[in-house]
Chain A
Amino acid sequence: MRGDLLSDPVEGLDETLAVVDAFDGVLVAGLLRPGPAQAAAVAGLADAVAGTPLAVRVAEAAGRVTAGAAGEDDFVALAAARSALLGSVHDALALRIDEAVGRPGPEEMPAPAAGPEQGTNLLAAARSWLCDLARSGWRGIDHELVAGAAPVVSAMLPDPGLRRRATLLDGFAAELAASCPGATLERVPVRRWADLWSRALLLTVPGSAGERTADAVTGRLLPLGVDVQEHATAVQAQVHAVFEPADGGAPRLVRAGVSAPKPDTVVGAGLWQLLRPHMSLLGAVSEGRSMELDAMPVTVEGDLVWDDERARPGEPADAFATARVMLSAATAARIAPLDRHPVRIAVPVLLEGYTTRSEEGRLAFDLAGLTVAVDTDRMPAAGPLTPEAVAASGACVGLLRWDAGEFLLQPLAVEATVRKKTVAVHAGAWAGGTTDKAGVRAEKAATDAVAVLRERAGRLLRK
Chain B
Amino acid sequence: MGVGALSVWEQSSTARVTAPARPRKLAKVPFVELADGRLQGVVSSGSDIGRVYVSSVAARTYAFSCSTNNNRPCGGARGMFCKHIQALVGEAVLQYGAERVARYLAVDPPDGEPDAQSLTAAMTATRPVKGDSAAAAQVFSRFLRHLAYLELVPVTFPLPEMQWFPSTRAVA
Interface residues of A (CB under 8 A from B): 17-18, 21-22, 25, 37, 40-41, 143, 147, 150, 154, 157-158, 160, 163-164, 167-168, 171, 174-175, 177-180, 187-192, 195-196, 199, 203, 211, 228-234, 236, 238, 255-265, 267-268, 270, 274-275, 278-279, 299, 301, 303, 305-307, 339, 341-344, 346, 376-381, 387, 403-405, 442, 445-446, 448-450, 452-454, 456-457, 459-461
Task: Decide if B150 is an interface residue (CB 8 Å cutoff).
Answer: yes
For residue A14, which residue of chain B has the nearest CB? B4
Interface size on B, residues (CB 8 A): 67
What residues on B are CB-neighbors of A377 within 8 Å? Answer: 16, 166, 168-170
9 contacts between A and B (CB under 8 A): A25-B1, A187-B7, A190-B10, A265-B31, A299-B158, A339-B160, A404-B11, A405-B11, A449-B23
What residues on A are CB-neighbors of B149 within 8 Å? Answer: 157, 233, 261-263
Do the beta carbons of A461 and B159 come within 8 Å of each other?
no
Do the beta carbons of B36 and A403 come within 8 Å of each other?
no
Complex CA gap A320/B34 in Å reads: 44
Complex CA gap A192/B14 in Å reads: 6
Do the beta carbons of B163 and A190 come within 8 Å of each other?
no
What residues on B are CB-neighbors of A267 within 8 Å? Answer: 20-23
Contact of A449 among B10, B26, B50, B153 (CB under 8 A): B26
Contact of B11 among A21, A344, A450 (CB under 8 A): A21
For residue A19, which residue of chain B has the nearest CB? B3
Complex CA gap A378/B12 in Å reads: 14
For residue A456, which residue of chain B has the nearest CB? B30
Do the beta carbons of B165 and A234 come within 8 Å of each other?
yes
For residue A163, which residue of chain B has the nearest CB? B155
What residues on A are CB-neighbors of B50 within 8 Å? Answer: 459
Given contacts A260-B152, A305-B156, 4 further A-B contacts (CB under 8 A): A21-B3, A229-B167, A343-B13, A404-B8
Task: Decide if B18 is an interface residue (CB 8 Å cutoff).
Answer: yes
Contact of A157 among B3, B6, B152 (CB under 8 A): B152
Which of A154, A258, A456 is the most central at the interface, judged by chain B CB atoms within 10 Å of its CB? Answer: A456
Contact of A191 among B13, B155, B159, B163 (CB under 8 A): B13
CB distance from A178 to the nearest CB of B (A): 5
CB distance from B56 to the nearest CB of A (A): 14
Complex CA gap A150/B24 in Å reads: 25
Contact of A41 among B1, B20, B145, B169 (CB under 8 A): B1
Do the beta carbons of A261 and B161 come within 8 Å of each other?
no
Do the beta carbons of B159 and A236 come within 8 Å of each other?
yes
Q: Mark B132-172, 1 if CB is under 8 A from A, else 0.
A: 00000000000111111111111111111111111111110
